[in-house]
Structure 1
Amino acid sequence: MKIGKYTLHVLETGSFALDGGAMFGIIPKPLWSKSNPADEMNRVSLNARNLLLVSDSRKILIDTGIGSGWDEKFAKIYRLDQSNNTAQSSLERIGINSDDITDVLLTHLHFDHTGGSTIFQDGKWIPAYPNAKYYIQKRHFEWAINPSERDKGSFIQDRFVPVHNEGLFHFIDGDVPFDDEIDFITINGHTFFQQMIKIHDSSNTILYCGDLFPFTSHIPIPYVMGYDLQPLITVQEKKKILPRAVEEKWKLFFEHDPKVIMATVAESPKGFTIDKVFTELP
């Protein structure tokens, strides 16, 4: 798939699992389990799916997946499975290595989105993409290095602080363009100053949603994660984004849905629903 000067590639970097109740907040299990069945520990499956944009001059990675180097306890708690895919193996399949990446656009610094930003080598954590600039909202970074007791477990410092120490972070302030075909859109419901990535040309728009819509089943307005710091803000953000997605025929990119890569959205008297589903890039 091409958008403007960019050729797009989906990178599957493994799967993991989180508590279904936490993923769906106040929504009762009999409702959310229809679309997202739980295992014996009440965990639902999530993919760690990223997007690579390639032009003549740039190779841009959006988020870095859950990464590698986790201990056995972590892997067991989160049912981590990278037997088929990692970021590196997915890049290698399309003939790209880590040194080729020029830019890394991070939606936010939770471990399942930025875990692959560093690697453990020679006894220390170092940037996984040493030739890249890493882009993050400045106010989100400031929160991530001094989070609250409620969300500090989501920020694993070894997975992003070494990037800062090497001077590779480029801080963004608000809703600004990256270039003519990529824009940053900030949202604050899930965590403070998360940034979605809008990729567009005259005929196509993809919105890389981050954790505003982890699954296709989060499209209905009330379906908000228990993890969200400001759930009522998430509701307002969904009510702002979804009508525009319908009107302008955006394709929403789902980072965590186990089956669906992208989808368009429709509106009916009952609310917003998934319309056309993509299990691969068109």
Structure 2
Amino acid sequence: METLQIGGYTLTWLRGGVTHLDGGAMFGVVPKPLWSRKYPHNDNNQIELRTDPILIQGGDKTFLIESGIGVGKLTEKQKRNFGVLEESDIEQSLHELGLTTRDVDYVIMTHMHYDHANGLTKEENGQYVSVFPNSKIITSKIEWDEMREPNIRSRNTYWKENWEPIQHQVETFEKEWSLGPIKMVHTGGHSAGHSVVILEDGGEMALHMADIMPTHAHQNVLWVMAYDDYPMDSIAAKQKWLKFGLENQAWFTFYHDAMYRAVKWDEANNIDQSVKRER
């Protein structure tokens, strides 16, 4: 498992599963000859996308950003459609670090789409239960409200089995939430309630833009997904937070990127430093 040190905090990428989605959908109106130079695809025009949560350890609390694709939550048809070749192995990942799912204090959810939220619950004895029973689960109020009452477009990605068993653990916020060196800020864009995460400690910073910038290849502010509910808001948020991160020499971290866990860009927009995913 790859790690990154930010001040006194250690970030570790857990094994949360993998999907393969259409490259055209992931890069929206960007022509394939452009995006394919930056991110590989298979013969079906699909690109590999990890769903790997980031464990943050430091101080007296343990945090987890996102929850993975889950285990046993998808039908065989869904696995084929979403290109899921590997499900979550979060419990084993934590075990290798000397932890269990009960040791996670906070699960930080940038948004609650199935590929981020499936790992919050699992089936036991015919019913769904919380995977992280001792955790507070943090997400924006807008996101939480839409998850429970999705619209005609979002109902395919907000699933009741992902929220009903954990609703007593959820804490929501309006614009910002913070605890110690970690802050969440609502952005909208990819979903109405989407948020970014900032970790700042010891003069160092990590910025997790989640699905506003799902991979390093989405650095161009105009390269947004066809999956985004509000693409102009995604563009505005990317402009704002990219500028913020670059000015603060931040590490940009990724949940979906199959090539990089984190990167730092230089003034010429070239990758200056990186944490590559081990194959």
User: TM (normalized to structure 2)?
Assistant: 0.92
Partner in structure 2 of residue 169 of structure 1: 170
CA shift, 1:158, in A, is 0.8
Question: Using the alignment, how far apart are the partners of 1:226 and 1:266 within structure 2?
Answer: 28
Match of 1:100 in 2: 103
The equivalent of 1:279 in structure 2 is: 276
Matched, 1:44 2:47: yes
Corresponding residue to 2:15 among 12, 16, 21: 12
Cα distance, 1:76 vs structure 2: 1.6
Distance 2:75 2:94 in 1: 24
Equivalent residue letter for 2:83: R
Native 8 Å contact 1:245 1:265 kept in 2: no
Q: Say whether residues 1:63 and 2:66 are aligned partners.
A: yes
Give the CA RMSD over aligned residues: 1.8
Q: Which residue number in structure 2 is paired with residue 253 of structure 1?
A: 253
Q: Deviations over 1:113-161 (max 9, x none)?
A: 1110001111011110111111111111101222222222121221222
- Offset, 1:220: 0.8
Q: Which residue of 1 aligns with 2:32?
A: 29
CA deviations on 1:202-228 (whole Å, 9 max, x unpaired) are 321001221011110100111110111
In structure 2, relative to structure 1, the CA distance for the partners of 1:239 and 1:103 (3 Å cut) is same
Partner of 1:124: 127
Tell me how far 1:262 sits from its aligned partner: 0.4
Shift of 1:34: 2.1
Structure 2 counterpart SS, 1:190: coil
Asked if residue 152 in structure 1 is aligned to residue 155 in structure 2, the reply is yes
Is the Cα contact below 8 Å between 1:209 and 1:255 reproduced in 2? no
The Cα offsets for residues 71-130 of structure 1, whole Å up to 9 and x where unpaired, read as: 2111121121227x6112211111111111111111110011111000111101111011
1:226 maps onto 2:223 in alignment: no
Q: Say if 1:34 and 1:4 are closer, same or farther in 2 by CA, change over 3 A.
A: closer
Give the residue type in structure 2 aligned to 1:80: V
Which amino acid in 2 is paired with 1:34?
R
For the Cα contact (< 8 Å) 1:174–1:186, is it kept in 2? yes
Q: Shift of the alpha carbon at 1:52?
A: 0.8
Give distance in 2, aligned partners of 1:10 and 1:3: 14
Distance (Å, rounded) in 1 between the aligned partners of 2:158 and 2:43: 27
Equivalent position of 2:76 in the other structure: 72
Cα drift, residue 273 of structure 1: 4.8
Is 1:209 aligned to residue 209 of structure 2? yes
* Stretch deviating more after TM superposition (250-259 or 5-14): 5-14
- 2:241 aligned partner: 241
**How far off its partner does 1:4 sit?**
4.5
CA distance in 1 between counterparts of 2:225 and 2:163 reads 24
| Alignment match, 1:115 | 118
**Residues 240 and 56 from structure 1, CA distance in 2 versus in 1: closer, same or farther, beyond 3 angstroms?**
closer
- Residues 182 and 197, structure 2, Cα contact 8 Å, conserved in 1: yes
- After superposing on structure 2, the runs of 4+ consecutive aligned residues of structure 1 that deviate more than 4 Å are none
User: CA 1:236–1:80 in 2, change beyond 3 Å: closer, same or farther?
Assistant: same
Q: Is the CA contact (8 Å cut-off) linking 1:190 and 1:231 kept in structure 2? A: yes
Q: Structure 2 unaligned segments of length 5 or more: list them.
A: none
Task: Measure how far apart 1:184 and its partner are.
Answer: 0.8
CA contact (8 A) 1:242 1:265 kept: no
Give the conservation status (yes or no) of the 8 Å contact 1:50–1:65: yes
Task: Provide the aligned length of Structure 1 versus Structure 2.
Answer: 274
**Shift in CA distance, 76/117, structure 1 to aligned 2, threshold 3 Å:** same
Please report how far the alpha carbon of residue 201 of structure 1 lies from its aligned counterpart in structure 2 after TM superposition: 1.2
Q: Which moved more, 1:54-63 or 1:188-197?
A: 54-63
1:219–1:273 CA contact under 8 A, matched in 2: no
* 1:223 counterpart letter in structure 2: W
CA gap 1:222/1:267 in 2 versus in 1, 3 angstroms: farther
